[in-house]
Structure 1
């Protein structure tokens, strides 16, 4: 069952969609913050009216990360095709009525992106995109915010967020110690970077409605 979203957030979405034009909603937050959970809950609350296109589909392939010497920092801003992500958002913003746009998806079971995995139909009024770096002001990331009609920062207790990350890494094959080490070395520096951009969001979202 999807978590319950406070009515004021759903009302805000209805206001956003009232004009009848395609809108892009960004959900941003630190690693493990619950962005994907919120995206799926919104999808359930708007049946047939929304599609989720995660930023994570633009992870560079593992072979390319190895070539660049960035494999041990997977998840950092420079381990994504940020220019490609911006280009997709532009296509989605101006999607023709007779065109399906295909977006990539990141598959955790293989730790790789898969091209063309998400079909975005032109009739769907809301595209929800979620990721860590939607509000960064560096490099190509700086062009993401202008493509989004609204951005919500998903705020989560840090201890809970860290525990989720450790459990996620264990679930996908790391030992408990390796999972904790990865969170400390890679996820937490990224989390601090993301948190520094939260002031650029339109809404601060918490499941408790605060």
Structure 2
């Protein structure tokens, strides 16, 4: 199934390729939807098709724009980490706007889930890379500043499993990070599922909707 969805998205990307400017593709969806796994598979597949000095496609993840835990704690937002207000949304939107230019090498942060923090300048994107796949929960959210990114995307994909599937995956994610089942369920119900509901109910329509209600989701 992941192979099928990867091909669907790759075909969409290739049909939307721009000339004279970079092609920016959005893969959005709620937490634990499988969008990260899909985005990584799409970038790998696109790069396997070309043998160039620079990658044909690069991946930029919204999670790199998490605000630091110390800042979140000072604002009383640490327990809500992952919600829209816990990201540098304006900074991320500006980064997406500038991706089109492709006039120089750019450097971007990457989120390390084990350390629970963003690492600055961990992702380099070559000016010779014509496709950037952007992945994240809120890429298609109707509220500003997220909404300002919509016109920058040449193509968009939304991954939206059922709430039952999402809850099961989110609880398992926390268990995999060392929490007991009861605590994992509480964290999921208090923060993760409300974020998922927001993404599912308040996102713009994408070019393609994928359910991904199968077992190939990777934590």
Same fold (TM over 0.5): yes
- Whole-Å separation in 2 of the counterparts to 1:92 and 1:199: 21
**Does residue 82 of structure 2 align to residue 75 of structure 1?**
yes
Contact 2:25 2:133 survives alignment (8 Å): yes
- Whole-Å separation in 1 of the counterparts to 2:67 and 2:142: 20
Comparing 152-161 with 66-75, greater Cα deviation is found at: 152-161
Query: Which digits, 9 at most, give the CA deviation of each residue in 1:82-136, with x for residues without a partner?
Result: 011011112211120xx21101111001111111010001111111111111112
**Following TM superposition, by how much is the alpha carbon of 1:14 offset from its aligned partner in structure 2, in angstroms?**
1.3
Report SS of the residue matched to 2:15. Answer: helix
Task: Determine the structure 1 residue equivalent to 2:206.
Answer: 201
Please point out which of 57, 60, 63 is paired with 1:56: 63
State the aligned residue count.
Answer: 205
Task: Determine the structure 2 residue equivalent to 1:27.
Answer: 27
- Whole-Å separation in 1 of the counterparts to 2:61 and 2:71: 20
- Whole-Å separation in 1 of the counterparts to 2:75 and 2:112: 21
Query: Which digits, 9 at most, give the CA deviation of each residue in 1:44-76, with x for residues without a partner?
Result: 211131111011111000000001110111111
Task: Determine the structure 2 residue equivalent to 1:192.
Answer: 197
- Whole-Å separation in 2 of the counterparts to 1:55 and 1:145: 14
Contact 1:153 1:198 survives alignment (8 Å): no
**Does residue 96 of structure 2 align to residue 89 of structure 1?**
yes
Report SS of the residue matched to 1:94. Answer: coil
- Whole-Å separation in 1 of the counterparts to 2:211 and 2:144: 29
> Which ranges in structure 2 are unaligned for 5 or more consecutive residues?
48-54, 214-219
> Which ranges in structure 1 are unaligned for 5 or more consecutive residues?
none
- Whole-Å separation in 1 of the counterparts to 2:174 and 2:187: 8
Q: Provide closer, same or farther for how the CA distance between residues 133 and 124 of structure 1 changes in structure 2, counting only shifts above 3 A.
A: same
Contact 1:5 1:207 survives alignment (8 Å): no
- Whole-Å separation in 2 of the counterparts to 1:122 and 1:129: 16
Task: Determine the structure 1 residue equivalent to 2:51.
Answer: none
